[in-house]
Chain A
Amino acid sequence: MLRAFDFPREYHFPPFFTRQTNVNTHRAQLEKWSSLILAYCAHHKLYKLSLSATAATNNNNNNNNDESTTGGAEDLFHNRKLNRRLSTADAREVLEFMRKEGRAEFVGGSGEGGGGDVAWIYWKTPEEWAKELESWVDETAQKGTVLTLYELTQGEDTRGSTFHGLDPDLLQKALQVLVKRGKAQIFGQEDSQGVKFF
């Protein structure tokens, strides 16, 4: 259903997969990796990226979520054609860099380089998602109505909107932003939550 991701030029450049020692070059390398990961995740609608999965080229064990939202990006860090791979340590460094830029967050504890192997990739930050939700609600004139979270991400109505298929945890984060602003209210049980927009 998706056309193949267009990798940037650097992806075909063998030294791109080696950590650069020159500070400036390294900085540029991190920037390029960062934008590559964001673009890749956006293209494949990945919300989480698992380092171990990408490093081991095996993502089956990580698909414990309802949707395959966690990184199945075996070809992201591994260029099979070149037979070059970004090492796990270097990939973690990239994610750490992205975390500082506010474009990633490690799942389960955002400690210094710690946490797990899985990280949120914010190709849109929760704030941005919140904005998207808000404007969708505005456009469809559903202010004041109650929607289930399932409806929001999987329902027929949202098909075609950007947040269709959004990871539930990420949706929660986005809604929390709206709640804080007083634009929404969440209620209900764990598995059947609803949200009301104001």
Chain B
Amino acid sequence: MFLKHIDLTTALRPSYLDGEALTFVQDNVGLYEGKYKLPNQQKGQVYLTTHRICYVDSQEPRKHSVALDLKDVERYEFYAGFLKSSAKVTLFPKPAKRASLQSRAAAAAFSPSSPSPHSSARASPAAPVQATSATWVCTICSFPNPVPSNFDPTTANIHTPLPPCLACGIKPALTHVLKASINNATSRQAAPGVTSRPLSGFSPLSRDTRPTADGVGGSSPSGADFSPAASTSDLNTGAGSGFQCPRCTFENHPSLLSCEICGAPLISQEVSSSSMAPITPRTDSPGPTLTTGNVTGLETPESVKISFRAGGEKIFYERLKVCMVQRKWLLQEAPPIPRANRAAEGDNGTLSRTGSGAGRTKTAGIAGLEQMGLDRRRNNELMIGTSFEDLEALMASAKEIVALAESFARQVNGGSDNATTEANALLAESASQLGLITTKDIVGGGSGSASESLYLSELSRNLAEFLTDDARGVLKKAGGVMSLVDLWAMFNRARGGVELVSPNDFEKAARLWEKLKLPVRLRTFKSGVMVAQSRDRTDEATVKALLSWLRDLHDIPPDSEVSWDWQEFGRGVTAQDVAERFSWSIAVAEEELEMAEERGVLCREEGIEGIKFWENYIDTGEYRKRSRRPVTENDRILADLKAAGLL
């Protein structure tokens, strides 16, 4: 599945995966499949992130937006455009999956469009990843050893335990093993892996780079390192007939991971048996996403072209190159760094966060909290200690270290200023989440006004996301309404002083909300005050809230003695009262009150205490009816009767 449907945020931008970062946006692009245009994907924006290329359609964003994972891209080409033909970037997918793997891939495809674990019994997420088929050649005796199954090149560091050579017993260097496994991974990636797994290169399902010669097999020292999860899940696979080793043809017990005789990794019963079954052509594969549209159904299109009709192709190509080199998606699902066993020796894995719950000493209450804090500190100390020992190790555990540094920074920030701790936390949180900030150099575009408008529309979406993000609740904390000035200040602060937005751009971006159909809207009050509020917050809703509050006041005795009948009329409220009640700013409260007055719901009272607003008992509507018809004889008689009645 090369092109997939994607989820969009409220602001109609692709929702990013964990650790994914936006690098480039360009509007007015179209998609081609091979030589043919895709009918529904001809006008939209392309988002280049570290992990994906997302196309968001302008007309029907929710329906026609697609994305392709960079990890599925075999190679990419640049076409500069000629005469009327626009510049294009062509992306070639990795070749079709091998026959033996198709059933597995099909099984994966049944879980709709998400990289969720496969459902087959053998395929517990940990098992296929951790087993390995890579080999390293001992520098001493040239014996090809298997790389330990729990060795992960993205997280390994100098203290990862390495088994000695099976033949001569000499421990290998970390770099040696690292190189071997990376070599293996890269060669595997050329071949089709399991699409949903970035680490599929270590899958036992591959056959071509299987170790040619192997040691004693099952009793290899690496066997001790198999994670419990892997072995238990393997035991769960149903019994049944024996399973033939693909290399030496020995009939193994179906629950074995590797051949008893030659040590070759075995693929699961289910997979192997189904791989022997007649293979259906992929075009007929009934993955659930197939039904959603023909685009995503293109199993392995010949190529996908992105046509840049408004420029930006050069920057896109440059950034794409960088992304393909960085291959950040490899980090995406990397497991946390294994806790250094050296320190864990004493307390037998209590430090390990990934350790099973059973192995954990159960302490409750304050002692438990203290223990936890102690553990965490010890872990951190260990990680920092080991990471800085040599450069290679540091690079290997870079991800963990960065996360640690960020958390330290947050703690320092929070501690320095108690008064604004909450604000700081919010800002720190926001800043880290605002990794996807729109900056002028992210958006491409040719010249002048085109790129300007793209920048603004991206900024507008960015703002809408910032406002509607539930985790931050910016708008919610401000009572659903926020003046544009406050928002501007907050947004720029959340950006941490980088790439600040000018007030001018900010206003323009806010004005675009309406046009882009975003869930927030800009409202201009009579006095010219501009506020941001969510789209569903209408004047009617505000008026309703105000009225119900005023009606409540009929039942609440006022603080001091009042001269009027508060049970009948309630009491007047000032803008200050309203601001406090609805946690609006005063300016907003004033404007809302005046809006309600304009609608005739409230009326005003000007006194020495300032302007107070009351429920409107003056205009109760009976006069409006009368004034419409001319004064008739009837009215006069009525008036007479009234006058007479009073006498």
User: A interface vs B, CB < 8 Å?
Assistant: 9-10, 12-22, 24-25, 27-29, 31-32, 39, 42-43, 81-84, 123-124, 128, 162
| Residues of the B chain whose Cβ atoms lie less than 8 Å from the Cβ of A29 | 618-619
| Residues of the B chain whose Cβ atoms lie less than 8 Å from the Cβ of A19 | 606
Among B116-124, B380-388, B636-644, the one that faces the other chain is B636-644
For the complex, is B564 an interface residue (Cβ under 8 Å from A)? yes
With both beta carbons as reference points, the residue of chain A lying nearest to B640 in the complex is identified as: A128
Q: Is the CB of B563 within 8 A of A83?
A: yes
Q: Is the CB of A18 within 8 A of B604?
A: yes
Partner of A25, one of B616, B636, B643: B616
Q: Is the CB of A27 within 8 A of B623?
A: yes
A29 to B572, CA, bound (A): 17
Cβ-closest 10 pairs across A and B: A28-B619, A15-B605, A31-B623, A25-B619, A15-B603, A18-B606, A15-B614, A18-B605, A42-B643, A82-B563
Partner of B623, one of A9, A18, A28, A43: A28
A162 to B647, CA, bound (A): 8
17 contacts across the A-B interface (CB closer than 8 A): A12-B564, A13-B564, A14-B605, A15-B572, A15-B617, A17-B605, A18-B604, A18-B607, A20-B603, A21-B604, A22-B619, A24-B600, A28-B623, A42-B647, A82-B564, A84-B607, A124-B643
Q: Is the CB of B646 within 8 A of A14?
A: no
Partner of B644, one of A13, A17, A20, A162: A162
Q: A16-B617, A20-B619, A123-B643 are in contact. List 18 more A-B contacts (CB 8 A).
A: A10-B618, A12-B569, A13-B617, A13-B618, A14-B612, A15-B605, A15-B617, A16-B618, A20-B604, A22-B597, A22-B619, A25-B597, A28-B624, A42-B646, A82-B563, A82-B564, A128-B640, A162-B643
Interface size on B, residues (CB 8 A): 33
| Residues of the A chain whose Cβ atoms lie less than 8 Å from the Cβ of B640 | 124, 128
| Residues of the B chain whose Cβ atoms lie less than 8 Å from the Cβ of A25 | 597, 600, 603, 616, 618-619
With both beta carbons as reference points, the residue of chain A lying nearest to B645 in the complex is identified as: A42
A32 to B616, CA, bound (A): 13
> Provided the pairs A25-B600, A25-B603, A27-B627 are in contact, do residues A14 and B614 lie with their beta carbons within 8 angstroms?
yes
| Residues of the B chain whose Cβ atoms lie less than 8 Å from the Cβ of A14 | 564, 569, 572, 605, 607, 612, 614
Most A Cβ at <10 Å: residue of B606, B620, B626, B643: B643
Q: Nearest Cβ distance between residue B623 and chain A, in whole angstroms?
A: 4
Partner of A24, one of B564, B569, B607, B624: B624
A18 to B614, CA, bound (A): 11
For the complex, is B18 an interface residue (Cβ under 8 Å from A)? no
Partner of A39, one of B605, B616, B642, B644: B642
| Residues of the B chain whose Cβ atoms lie less than 8 Å from the Cβ of A31 | 623, 626-627
| Residues of the A chain whose Cβ atoms lie less than 8 Å from the Cβ of B621 | 28
| Residues of the B chain whose Cβ atoms lie less than 8 Å from the Cβ of A9 | 568, 617
Q: Is the CB of A39 within 8 A of B646?
A: yes
Most B Cβ at <10 Å: residue of A25, A31, A123: A25
Contact pattern, B 265-284, Cβ under 8 Å of A = 1, otherwise 0: 00000000000000000000
Contact pattern, B 418-451, Cβ under 8 Å of A = 1, otherwise 0: 0000000000000000000000000000000000
For the complex, is B208 an interface residue (Cβ under 8 Å from A)? no
With both beta carbons as reference points, the residue of chain B lying nearest to A32 in the complex is identified as: B618
A69 to B597, CA, bound (A): 39
Q: Nearest Cβ distance between residue B341 and chain A, in whole angstroms?
A: 77
Q: Nearest Cβ distance between residue B607 and chain A, in whole angstroms?
A: 8
A9 to B618, CA, bound (A): 9
For the complex, is B565 an interface residue (Cβ under 8 Å from A)? yes
| Chain B residues touching A, majority SS | mixed
Considering only residues 195-250 of chain B, those with a C-beta below 8 Å from chain A are none
With both beta carbons as reference points, the residue of chain A lying nearest to B643 in the complex is identified as: A42
| Residues of the A chain whose Cβ atoms lie less than 8 Å from the Cβ of B619 | 20, 22, 24-25, 27-29
User: B interface vs A, CB < 8 Å?
Assistant: 563-565, 568-569, 572, 597-598, 600, 603-607, 612, 614, 616-621, 623-624, 626-627, 636, 640, 642-644, 646-647
Q: Nearest Cβ distance between residue A163 and chain B, in whole angstroms?
A: 11
Most A Cβ at <10 Å: residue of B598, B606, B617, B644: B617
Q: Nearest Cβ distance between residue B547 and chain A, in whole angstroms?
A: 15
| Residues of the A chain whose Cβ atoms lie less than 8 Å from the Cβ of B563 | 81-83
| Residues of the A chain whose Cβ atoms lie less than 8 Å from the Cβ of B605 | 14-15, 17-18
Q: Nearest Cβ distance between residue A171 and chain B, in whole angstroms?
A: 17
> Provided the pairs A20-B603, A22-B597, A123-B643 are in contact, do residues A13 and B614 lie with their beta carbons within 8 angstroms?
yes
| Residues of the B chain whose Cβ atoms lie less than 8 Å from the Cβ of A82 | 563-564
Q: Nearest Cβ distance between residue A196 and chain B, in whole angstroms?
A: 26
| Residues of the A chain whose Cβ atoms lie less than 8 Å from the Cβ of B616 | 25
Q: Is the CB of B620 within 8 A of A28?
A: yes
Q: Is the CB of A15 within 8 A of B623?
A: no
A28 to B600, CA, bound (A): 10
With both beta carbons as reference points, the residue of chain A lying nearest to B623 in the complex is identified as: A31
Q: Nearest Cβ distance between residue A170 and chain B, in whole angstroms?
A: 14
A81 to B600, CA, bound (A): 27
Q: Nearest Cβ distance between residue B596 and chain A, in whole angstroms?
A: 10
| Residues of the A chain whose Cβ atoms lie less than 8 Å from the Cβ of B597 | 21-22, 25
Q: Is the CB of A32 within 8 A of B603?
A: no
Q: Nearest Cβ distance between residue B580 and chain A, in whole angstroms?
A: 21
| Residues of the B chain whose Cβ atoms lie less than 8 Å from the Cβ of A13 | 564, 569, 614, 617-618
A70 to B623, CA, bound (A): 28
Q: Nearest Cβ distance between residue A140 and chain B, in whole angstroms?
A: 18
Q: Is the CB of B623 within 8 A of A32?
A: yes
A162 to B636, CA, bound (A): 16
| Residues of the B chain whose Cβ atoms lie less than 8 Å from the Cβ of A32 | 618, 623
| Residues of the B chain whose Cβ atoms lie less than 8 Å from the Cβ of A43 | 646
With both beta carbons as reference points, the residue of chain A lying nearest to B563 in the complex is identified as: A82
A56 to B499, CA, bound (A): 65
Q: Is the CB of B564 within 8 A of A22?
A: no
| Residues of the A chain whose Cβ atoms lie less than 8 Å from the Cβ of B642 | 39, 42
A25 to B493, CA, bound (A): 44
A109 to B601, CA, bound (A): 39
Q: Nearest Cβ distance between residue A158 and chain B, in whole angstroms?
A: 14
Q: Nearest Cβ distance between residue B560 and chain A, in whole angstroms?
A: 14
Q: Is the CB of B604 within 8 A of A15?
A: yes
With both beta carbons as reference points, the residue of chain A lying nearest to B608 in the complex is identified as: A83
Most A Cβ at <10 Å: residue of B569, B640, B646: B646
A17 to B572, CA, bound (A): 13
Q: Nearest Cβ distance between residue A198 and chain B, in whole angstroms?
A: 24
A9 to B569, CA, bound (A): 10
With both beta carbons as reference points, the residue of chain B lying nearest to A20 in the complex is identified as: B603
Q: Nearest Cβ distance between residue A69 and chain B, in whole angstroms?
A: 16
Q: Is the CB of A22 within 8 A of B646?
A: no
> Provided the pairs A81-B563, A82-B563 are in contact, do residues A15 and B618 lie with their beta carbons within 8 angstroms?
yes
| Residues of the B chain whose Cβ atoms lie less than 8 Å from the Cβ of A123 | 643
A32 to B618, CA, bound (A): 8
A31 to B625, CA, bound (A): 12
A24 to B618, CA, bound (A): 10
Q: Is the CB of A20 within 8 A of B618?
A: yes
| Residues of the B chain whose Cβ atoms lie less than 8 Å from the Cβ of A39 | 642, 646
A16 to B109, CA, bound (A): 72
Partner of A28, one of B598, B614, B618: B618
A119 to B282, CA, bound (A): 97
| Residues of the B chain whose Cβ atoms lie less than 8 Å from the Cβ of A20 | 603-604, 618-619
| Residues of the B chain whose Cβ atoms lie less than 8 Å from the Cβ of A128 | 636, 640
| Residues of the A chain whose Cβ atoms lie less than 8 Å from the Cβ of B568 | 9, 12
A164 to B616, CA, bound (A): 40
Q: Nearest Cβ distance between residue B352 and chain A, in whole angstroms?
A: 70
Q: Nearest Cβ distance between residue A127 and chain B, in whole angstroms?
A: 9
